[in-house]
Amino acid sequence: MRLALALCAAATLVGMARIDTGTLWHYNQSNVIGTLSYFNRRNLVTLGPSFNGASTSSTTPVAAAGSAAYFLCWGDEATLLYVNGFCNNTIIALNDVALGLDGAGFAAGQTMYISAAGANVAFSATLAGTPSEAVLHNSNVIIWVGSGTGNYYGNAGAMVRG
Protein backbone atom coordinates (compact mmCIF):
# COMPACT_ATOMS: atom_id res chain seq x y z
CA MET A 1 0.00 0.00 0.00
CA ARG A 2 1.32 3.44 -0.88
CA LEU A 3 1.30 6.10 1.81
CA ALA A 4 0.74 9.62 0.50
CA LEU A 5 -0.82 12.88 1.60
CA ALA A 6 -4.25 13.17 -0.02
CA LEU A 7 -4.61 16.84 0.95
CA CYS A 8 -1.55 18.13 -0.87
CA ALA A 9 -1.25 17.60 -4.63
CA ALA A 10 2.38 18.76 -4.53
CA ALA A 11 3.41 16.10 -1.99
CA THR A 12 6.29 13.80 -2.89
CA LEU A 13 6.35 10.16 -1.89
CA VAL A 14 9.39 9.70 0.39
CA GLY A 15 8.64 6.27 1.80
CA MET A 16 6.24 3.39 1.71
CA ALA A 17 5.09 0.67 4.06
CA ARG A 18 3.07 -2.49 3.63
CA ILE A 19 -0.15 -2.18 5.63
CA ASP A 20 -1.75 -5.32 7.04
CA THR A 21 -5.29 -5.59 8.31
CA GLY A 22 -6.21 -2.74 10.63
CA THR A 23 -3.31 -0.49 11.57
CA LEU A 24 -0.50 -3.07 11.54
CA TRP A 25 2.39 -2.55 9.14
CA HIS A 26 5.26 -4.80 8.13
CA TYR A 27 8.71 -3.73 9.19
CA ASN A 28 11.77 -5.20 7.53
CA GLN A 29 12.46 -8.70 8.76
CA SER A 30 14.22 -11.77 7.41
CA ASN A 31 11.52 -12.84 4.94
CA VAL A 32 9.64 -9.54 4.29
CA ILE A 33 10.92 -6.14 3.14
CA GLY A 34 7.91 -4.09 4.18
CA THR A 35 9.24 -0.52 4.49
CA LEU A 36 11.30 1.60 2.10
CA SER A 37 12.84 5.07 2.25
CA TYR A 38 13.23 7.01 -1.00
CA PHE A 39 16.20 9.09 0.20
CA ASN A 40 18.08 6.46 2.19
CA ARG A 41 18.35 3.76 -0.47
CA ARG A 42 20.59 0.84 0.31
CA ASN A 43 20.62 -2.84 -0.60
CA LEU A 44 18.06 -4.75 1.47
CA VAL A 45 18.08 -8.53 1.38
CA THR A 46 15.11 -10.72 2.21
CA LEU A 47 15.55 -14.44 2.68
CA GLY A 48 12.68 -16.83 2.12
CA PRO A 49 12.27 -19.67 4.57
CA SER A 50 14.38 -22.74 3.89
CA PHE A 51 12.53 -25.17 1.65
CA ASN A 52 14.47 -28.13 2.98
CA GLY A 53 12.86 -31.35 1.88
CA ALA A 54 10.43 -29.89 -0.66
CA SER A 55 9.45 -32.92 -2.71
CA THR A 56 7.64 -33.41 -6.02
CA SER A 57 6.95 -36.08 -8.60
CA SER A 58 5.19 -33.54 -10.84
CA THR A 59 6.40 -33.27 -14.43
CA THR A 60 4.87 -29.78 -14.65
CA PRO A 61 6.09 -26.75 -12.64
CA VAL A 62 4.78 -26.40 -9.06
CA ALA A 63 5.76 -23.98 -6.27
CA ALA A 64 8.05 -25.40 -3.58
CA ALA A 65 6.24 -25.19 -0.26
CA GLY A 66 7.69 -22.58 2.09
CA SER A 67 9.99 -20.92 -0.46
CA ALA A 68 8.37 -17.47 -0.77
CA ALA A 69 10.15 -14.19 0.01
CA TYR A 70 8.11 -10.94 0.09
CA PHE A 71 9.21 -7.41 -0.76
CA LEU A 72 8.22 -3.87 -1.73
CA CYS A 73 10.33 -2.04 -4.32
CA TRP A 74 10.63 1.30 -6.06
CA GLY A 75 9.51 1.34 -9.69
CA ASP A 76 12.85 2.65 -10.94
CA GLU A 77 15.10 0.15 -9.14
CA ALA A 78 16.14 -3.27 -10.37
CA THR A 79 15.42 -6.21 -8.11
CA LEU A 80 17.55 -9.34 -7.92
CA LEU A 81 15.85 -12.65 -7.09
CA TYR A 82 17.96 -15.69 -6.27
CA VAL A 83 17.83 -19.35 -5.26
CA ASN A 84 20.66 -21.61 -4.08
CA GLY A 85 20.64 -25.20 -2.88
CA PHE A 86 20.85 -28.81 -3.95
CA CYS A 87 18.51 -31.57 -5.06
CA ASN A 88 18.36 -35.31 -5.62
CA ASN A 89 15.96 -37.84 -7.10
CA THR A 90 14.84 -41.39 -6.31
CA ILE A 91 16.03 -42.51 -9.78
CA ILE A 92 18.40 -41.35 -12.53
CA ALA A 93 16.45 -38.39 -13.95
CA LEU A 94 16.33 -34.68 -14.71
CA ASN A 95 15.31 -32.25 -11.96
CA ASP A 96 14.35 -28.64 -12.73
CA VAL A 97 14.28 -25.49 -10.61
CA ALA A 98 13.26 -21.94 -11.53
CA LEU A 99 12.24 -18.64 -9.94
CA GLY A 100 8.72 -17.25 -10.04
CA LEU A 101 7.58 -13.65 -9.45
CA ASP A 102 4.10 -12.90 -8.09
CA GLY A 103 2.86 -16.34 -9.04
CA ALA A 104 2.86 -15.49 -12.74
CA GLY A 105 5.19 -17.56 -14.87
CA PHE A 106 8.81 -18.26 -14.13
CA ALA A 107 12.27 -17.62 -15.49
CA ALA A 108 15.94 -18.09 -14.68
CA GLY A 109 15.70 -21.85 -14.44
CA GLN A 110 18.23 -24.63 -14.31
CA THR A 111 18.01 -28.32 -15.24
CA MET A 112 20.14 -30.79 -13.29
CA TYR A 113 21.03 -34.33 -14.40
CA ILE A 114 20.85 -36.71 -11.44
CA SER A 115 23.40 -39.41 -12.34
CA ALA A 116 22.49 -41.87 -9.57
CA ALA A 117 19.52 -42.39 -7.29
CA GLY A 118 19.96 -40.19 -4.21
CA ALA A 119 22.96 -38.29 -5.63
CA ASN A 120 22.97 -34.59 -4.64
CA VAL A 121 23.44 -31.93 -7.32
CA ALA A 122 23.88 -28.21 -6.55
CA PHE A 123 21.81 -25.49 -8.21
CA SER A 124 21.90 -21.71 -8.31
CA ALA A 125 19.80 -19.26 -10.34
CA THR A 126 19.17 -15.52 -10.39
CA LEU A 127 16.57 -13.30 -12.01
CA ALA A 128 16.86 -9.52 -12.36
CA GLY A 129 13.90 -7.30 -13.17
CA THR A 130 12.01 -4.12 -12.38
CA PRO A 131 8.67 -5.03 -10.77
CA SER A 132 5.94 -2.43 -10.31
CA GLU A 133 6.03 0.02 -7.42
CA ALA A 134 3.81 0.01 -4.31
CA VAL A 135 2.79 -3.64 -4.53
CA LEU A 136 3.90 -6.36 -2.11
CA HIS A 137 5.68 -8.79 -4.45
CA ASN A 138 6.62 -12.38 -3.80
CA SER A 139 9.27 -14.58 -5.29
CA ASN A 140 9.16 -18.31 -4.93
CA VAL A 141 10.91 -21.40 -6.15
CA ILE A 142 9.28 -23.49 -8.89
CA ILE A 143 10.25 -27.18 -9.09
CA TRP A 144 9.48 -30.18 -11.32
CA VAL A 145 11.09 -33.43 -12.50
CA GLY A 146 11.37 -35.47 -15.68
CA SER A 147 10.49 -38.63 -13.75
CA GLY A 148 10.87 -40.11 -10.28
CA THR A 149 10.56 -38.02 -7.12
CA GLY A 150 12.79 -34.99 -6.67
CA ASN A 151 13.79 -33.61 -3.28
CA TYR A 152 14.96 -29.99 -3.02
CA TYR A 153 16.88 -28.21 -0.24
CA GLY A 154 17.84 -24.53 -0.19
CA ASN A 155 16.89 -20.88 0.22
CA ALA A 156 15.47 -18.21 -2.06
CA GLY A 157 15.34 -14.48 -1.60
CA ALA A 158 15.39 -11.04 -3.11
CA MET A 159 17.65 -7.99 -2.95
CA VAL A 160 16.02 -4.59 -3.41
CA ARG A 161 17.16 -0.99 -2.91
CA GLY A 162 15.07 0.98 -0.46
What CATH number is attached to the domain comprising 84?
Answer: 2.60.120.1340
Kindly give the confidence (pLDDT) of every residue in the chain, 162 residues in length, as a single tens digit, with 9 standing for 90 and above.
Answer: 344 444 555 656 666 666 666 555 555 555 566 666 666 677 777 777 688 889 999 999 998 887 777 887 777 777 888 889 999 999 999 999 998 888 766 666 889 999 999 999 999 988 887 887 767 788 888 999 999 999 999 988 888 765
Please give the Cα distance from 137 to 135 (Å, whole number): 6
Main-chain dihedrals φ then ψ at residue 96, nearest 5 degrees: -125, 145
Could you tell me if residue 34 is inside a domain? Answer: no
- The three-class DSSP label of residue 43 is strand
- On whether the CB atoms of residues 47 and 22 are closer than 8 A, the answer is no
H or E stretch at 10:
none
At residue 74, what is the residue type? Answer: W
- For 78, the domain range is 48-156
Please give the Cα distance from 135 to 39 (Å, whole number): 19
Predicted pLDDT at 58: 97
Global confidence as pTM: 0.76
- The three-class DSSP label of residue 77 is coil
The number of residues in the chain equals 162
Could you tell me if residue 89 is inside a domain? Answer: yes
Could you tell me if residue 43 is inside a domain? Answer: no
- On whether the CB atoms of residues 120 and 70 are closer than 8 A, the answer is no
In the chain, the number of structural domains is: 1
Could you tell me if residue 41 is inside a domain? Answer: no
Could you tell me if residue 19 is inside a domain? Answer: no
Predicted pLDDT at 5: 45
Please give the Cα distance from 142 to 59 (Å, whole number): 12
Could you tell me if residue 32 is inside a domain? Answer: no
Query: Half-sphere exposure of 109 toward its Cβ, with a 13 Å CA cutoff?
Result: 17
Could you tell me if residue 118 is inside a domain? Answer: yes
Could you tell me if residue 36 is inside a domain? Answer: no
